Amino acid sequence: MPLIKRRMFIPCREDECLKLYELAKDKLPATSYVEFQLTSKGLVIEAYGYETDVRALWFELKKLLPPLKEALSTSKKVKKYEVGLVAKIIQKTFPPLVLVEVLKHKGYHARFLGESNSIESNASLEEVLEVASKVAELNIEAGKISRNTSTRYYIAALSALTGLPVEEVARLSVKHGLLREEGGVYVVTLDWREALNKALKTLVHPQ
């Protein structure tokens, strides 16, 4: 297979270029050699390697730029964040429905758009990334003590919003009738969003 060298230019603003560079330097298809140069008009990328690898690199960069531009837009109050892009940046998978609920309870507009697998929100990219990373970690911890997905979502969301460990969230939720224990794991007793609302009123804003 032949080795090729290709120079690529991607027009972008400085913040877009920096984010794209952060994504590209570690997470894109491997090539023998890649060099990045930030200019006033965009990002120059020089790649050397097998033709299939260089083509894959270029394809991935072109695929990442549109959703990244959308996420970093300064002209829109409500932006669309592709779930795949967020997961690629934080290098973790996360449940988008939990991210949406946590953002909403933090005072942001947030909505999951299933047809495009994206999240619509007025939260900044930095806030979305921070919350998504936390949710991803708590989702794994919650899964160890949950019987089903709804329970896992409830525990992860409540832990993210209160800062309480998942075990403490479970203990307090059982006490208030929002979870029940079954064979060493927990089951939410209501719709998980309804349980989350009640838990926040009871645990964070008790009457």
Predicted confidence (pLDDT) per residue in 98-154, tens digit:
999 999 999 999 999 999 999 999 998 889 999 999 999 999 999 999 999 999 999
pLDDT tens sequence across 18-42? 877 777 666 566 666 778 888 888 8
CA 118 to chain centre: 10
| Residue spans of beta strands (DSSP E) within the chain | 3-11, 33-38, 42-50, 79-82, 110-113, 118-121, 179-182, 185-188
Taking the C-alpha atoms of residue 155 and residue 166, their distance in angstroms, rounded to an integer, is 6
Q: Nearest 5 degrees, angle CA 128-CA 129-CA 135?
A: 85
Taking the C-alpha atoms of residue 1 and residue 75, their distance in angstroms, rounded to an integer, is 45
Q: What is the pTM of this model?
A: 0.77
Taking the C-alpha atoms of residue 194 and residue 177, their distance in angstroms, rounded to an integer, is 13
